[in-house]
Structure formats: structure tokens, C-alpha cells
Copies of this chain bind each other. A is one copy, B any other.
Amino acid sequence: MVKDRRSPRPRLTDVAERAGVSMKTVSNVVGGYAPVSDRTREKVLAAIAETGYRPNLSARNLARGRSGTILLAVPRLELPYFASLAGHIVTAAATRGWTVLLHQTDGTAEGERAVLEEEPSQRLDGMIVSTQHLRAVEVHRTDAVPLVLLGDLEPHGAIAHVGIDNWAAGRAAAVHLAGVGCRRVAMIGAGIGTTRRDRTAGVAAGLREAGLPVLPELLRPIAANTGEEGERVVTEMLAELRAAGAPPPDGVFAVTDWVAMGALRALHRSGLAVPADVAVIGFDDIPYATSSLPTLSTIAADRACIADHAVALLEEQQGSAMDSPARTAQRFAPFALVPRESTARP
């Protein structure tokens, strides 16, 4: 199809003229705003095809009084879990005519606070914010912009929130470790002990359920969920246990696959074999979980489902009163435990 570069883009008027109907009717067909007779619809669709018309979203948004963009804040896009989530959110948002403005909080409490409290540089139809540090009770709504929180939050009912049931996922991981024979399970990760219903709390519950102890010396909070930190803390833990004459753990739960990769390094350097001596399970199912040595057992959240829920909740909040149920809804997405080499025992 050859196009004349100098001819201006076709507008709604051009389509209307060609189809012999009013702009309003074309608008109704394109936007699905009101029912149109089949005959008219066909004429309009033909005219759209002939002219190659595509709507001008700026004009549409201006007329409808919305910005057409939502903001998505994640710790770092470089982390595959969040990148993947972002991809799904972009897709879900596009379905509703939204463009996603990406924002990175750098995974710090200040970064999270900033995006929630500072004035955005442009108008937004809504915000999806993935928090790691900020507790939901600390989030104060500064205005009426629709907001959905993602992540590991305590259910408190004041702000819309979507995530997986981290507690249940942690519990499943613990049951899996117990099932492959672990008796001394260590937990490594940021946020350990801070919330009541998070993944590490679930692990503890799962261990108790399996009749295993939750040993304080094996609970290791870390400063950041990175591989380096995971390696450092596990190395430290092994040294302390050795010094105390205590045996090493025979199972490790890491809050994140990246942390688990660091744990793998630390265990290897201490001469412990995975999974023979120590079984290791991570969380997130990043692409690299299948390329580590050994491959990593992990918990995989249904990220597409999380994305759909989040964007849907934003849509339900559009124009709704501050006390609408969509403002405070809590939605859960499913997860799956993916067993791989790091917990494979005969």
C-alpha cells in the first residue's frame, strides 16, 4: 500500500463524510459508545478501512477528560520479575486505552515514599505501585488519583491491593522442603519478621505444621534482596554456626531467586553440595532460575493475573467516589511451586 506522505492523517470527519453519516455515528462505531445499526456500522467500517483512519488519542482523552496514562512504579526494571510484570501490565493497560508511564523506586523506602507523595509531573488516570518497604498503613492518599498497591502487604482494607497469597506460598515452600527431608530450614531475606502474613511467616507456619522447628539462628534478615547480600549473609550464617559447633542447615528458603543464587554461591564455597547436603528454594521464577547451578526450585506467581487485576481495579476506580469498594479491594492471584534440581532428592 503506497501512502502519500504529504496527505494529512484522516480524521473522524473524513470518515464520516466518506460514509455519509455524522461524526457522532463514526465516533460511536469506533469507541463503541452507543449501539449503531448493522447497515450503518458496515458503511462506517468500510470508510475506516478505505481511509486508514486511526483515532487521535490526545483528542479523545482531552474530550473525555482523562489523561490516558497510568503510572507503574517498580523497584528496578532490571529485575526480571518486575520487568515481566511490567510487560503484562502494559498489555492489560493497552486493552483499556492506557499508556503506561514507567517509574523506578530503586527498591528503597524513600523511592517508594517519593512516588506516592510527590506531585507527578503530568496528570495520571491512576497509579500502580509495587512496594517492598512501605507498609500499607503508612500510605496516605494525597489526592483522588486511583491507586493500586502491589506486593507483600498486610491486609488492612484501606487501599486497593493485589498480589499472591504470600503466606500460602511460603507455607507451600516449607512443606516442599519438609517433603524432601529437610529438618533444619534457614530463611534468608529482607523483611524477615516484619509482617505477620508475609512469605517468611508462611514458611514458619509450614515448618511447624510439618513438625519442624523454627530455629532463630537460621532466620537471617538481609539489607537488600540481591545476590550479593544473599551470599554475604549465608556465608556469615555458616561461619557462625560452625563457630558455635552447630550443624549447617539442610534446607534454605530464600525470599527471592536472586537471593537464592547468592545462597548457592555461599553454600558451594563452604563445601556444601546442593541439593545433596542442602536443598534450596527461591521465589519469583526468573528466567535465570533454569540456568543456575543447580537449577532453582521456586514459587511462580501468575503475573498476568496480577497485572489484569491491578489494571481492572484502576478502571473500576475511575470517577468513582473515594468510598467506592474498588478503592479498597484486595485481590489475590494464583501461584505455583516449581520443583527443580536445587530441591531434587532421590
Contacts and interface: CB of A to CB of B under 8 A. Distances in A.
Interface residues of A, number: 60
A315 interface: no
Interface string A61-96: 110000111000000111110111011001000100
A228 B290 contact: yes
A58 B62 contact: yes
A345 B123 CA distance: 55
Given A258-B291, A291-B262, A293-B293, A57 B123 contact: yes
A101 B87 CA distance: 10
Copies of this protein in the complex: 2
A70 B69 CA distance: 13
B9 A123 contact: yes
B62 A56 contact: yes
Contacts of A336: none
Interface string A9-21: 1000000000000
A67 B56 contact: yes
A166 B284 CA distance: 32
Interface string A322-335: 10000000000000
Contacts of A151: none
A193 interface: no
Given A5-B143, A58-B62, A122-B55, A227 B291 contact: yes
Interface in A25-69: 52, 54-59, 61-62, 67-69
28 contacts: A5-B144, A5-B322, A54-B121, A54-B123, A56-B67, A56-B123, A57-B67, A57-B123, A58-B58, A58-B61, A58-B67, A69-B99, A77-B86, A78-B286, A82-B83, A86-B102, A94-B101, A99-B101, A100-B101, A102-B102, A227-B291, A228-B291, A231-B291, A262-B291, A264-B293, A265-B293, A268-B293, A292-B293
A254 to B, nearest CB: 11
Contacts of A119: 52, 54
A310 to B, nearest CB: 16
B78 A83 contact: yes
The 4 A-B residue pairs whose C-beta atoms are closest, nearest first, are A227-B291, A83-B83, A261-B291, A77-B87
B62 A59 contact: yes
A287 interface: yes
A88 to B, nearest CB: 9
Contact of A288 (B104, B143, B288): B288
**Most B CB atoms within 10 A — which of A56, A226, A291?**
A291
B87 A76 contact: yes
Contact of A292 (B90, B144, B261): B261
B80 A79 contact: yes
**Most B CB atoms within 10 A — which of A59, A102, A119?**
A102
